């Protein structure tokens, strides 16, 4: 049995959306050349073979994970629902840029309704937090002899995990949603940043270990817009 469960949550490399280019919806934005370089640098930071590699189904996360999968071909690879928070739904229209979506982004957060779903394809804030808890439960249920789990995911989802662990919120109300929006502005997760979760054996839940991008030394680091889709 291992002494503790270790998880690396890794934000994807720079996407075309991050670079200000138009994209075909939240799931389809690929990596830029810089993003691919960041993915290579991230794969090199592993000093041990991960026990499991997990990716969001979104293109930019899968492309970031590919470099680590190629380096460790014997490691099981899985796709989990750790995709980005897609609250805009159909408002994230084809061939639009992040700048063009900003009015819709601002309106969503100003609305401050946790159960609100835009159209048939949007995700509510309540659903996001439920997805976070399902992710943590799935991690906790992994075999005790699992080693490091590498999870290639997205900025807002990572922030939701961190906020949920700190706040303990299970069923968010309007006050919680407002608090989360404040947390977005106070927390930055650059492309390919690694945030570690650690769970000691026993009755304790997951704990946060501070993340950084020192493994990308020499490469430009860009901060994302706190409330923007990436």
pTM exceeding 0.85: yes
**Residue 204: inside a domain:** yes
Q: What is the pLDDT of residues 85-104, one digit of tens each?
A: 999 988 887 889 999 999 99
Read off the pLDDT of residues 4-30 as tens digits, 9 standing for 90 and up: 688 999 999 999 999 999 999 889 999
Q: What is the pLDDT of residue 93?
A: 78
User: Within a domain: residue 223?
Assistant: no
Please name the residue ranges forming H helices in 73-154. 98-111, 125-140
Number of structural domains (the chain) is: 1
Mean pLDDT within 111-125: 92
Which pair of structure tokens corresponds to residue 56? Answer: 């969001």
Is 9 domain-assigned? Answer: yes
Q: At what angle do helices 33-43 and 59-71 cross, to 10 degrees?
A: 40
Domain assignment present for residue 227? The answer is no
CATH number at residue 89: 3.40.50.1240
Q: Give the 3-state DSSP-derived string for 150-219, with helices as H, strands as E and coil as C.
A: EEEECHHHHHHHHHHHHHCCCCCCHHHHHHHHHHHHHCCCCCCCEEEEEEECCCCCCEEEEEECHHHCCC
What pLDDT band is residue 146 in, cutting at 50, 70 and 90?
A: confident
Supply the pLDDT for residue 192.
96
Distance separating alpha carbons of residues 9 and 150, to the nearest angstrom: 6
pLDDT attached to residue 213: 54
* Segments forming the whole domain that contains residue 34: 4-216
For residue 224, being part of any structural domain is answered with no
Q: Which pLDDT score is estimated for 220?
A: 53
Give the pLDDT mean for 166-189.
96
Asked, for residue 206, whether it belongs to a domain, the answer is yes
Contacting residues for 104 by C-beta, under 8 A, at least 6 apart: 88, 91, 92
Assess contact for 92 and 86: CB atoms under 8 A: yes
Give mean pLDDT, residues 53-59.
98
Between the CA of residue 111 and those of 98, 120, 122, 131, what are the distances in Å? 19, 18, 14, 21
Is residue 226 included in any domain, yes or no?
no
């Amino acid at each position: 049995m291992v002494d503790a469960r270790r998880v690396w949550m890794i934000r994807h490399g720079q996407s075309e959306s991050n670079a200000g280019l138009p994209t075909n919806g939240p799931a389809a934005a690929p990596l830029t050349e810089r993003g691919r370089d960041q993915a290579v640098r991230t794969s090199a930071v592993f000093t041990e073979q991960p026990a499991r590699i997990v990716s969001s189904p979104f293109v930019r996360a899968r492309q970031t994970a590919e470099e680590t999968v190629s380096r460790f071909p014997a490691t099981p690879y899985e796709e989990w629902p750790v995709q980005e928070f897609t609250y805009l739904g159909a408002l994230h229209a084809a061939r639009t840029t992040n700048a063009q979506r900003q009015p819709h982004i601002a309106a969503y957060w100003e609305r401050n309704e946790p159960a609100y779903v835009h159209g048939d394809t949007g995700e509510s804030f309540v659903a996001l937090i439920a997805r976070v808890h399902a992710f943590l439960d799935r991690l906790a249920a992994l075999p005790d002899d699992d080693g490091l789990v590498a999870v290639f995911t997205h900025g807002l989802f990572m922030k939701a995990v961190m906020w949920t662990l700190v706040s303990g919120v299970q069923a968010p109300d309007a006050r919680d949603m407002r608090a989360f929006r404040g947390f977005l502005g106070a927390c930055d997760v650059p492309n390919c940043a690694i945030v570690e979760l650690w769970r000691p054996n026993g009755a304790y839940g997951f704990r946060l270990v501070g993340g950084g991008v020192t493994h990308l030394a020499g490469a430009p680091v860009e901060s994302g817009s706190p409330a923007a889709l990436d």
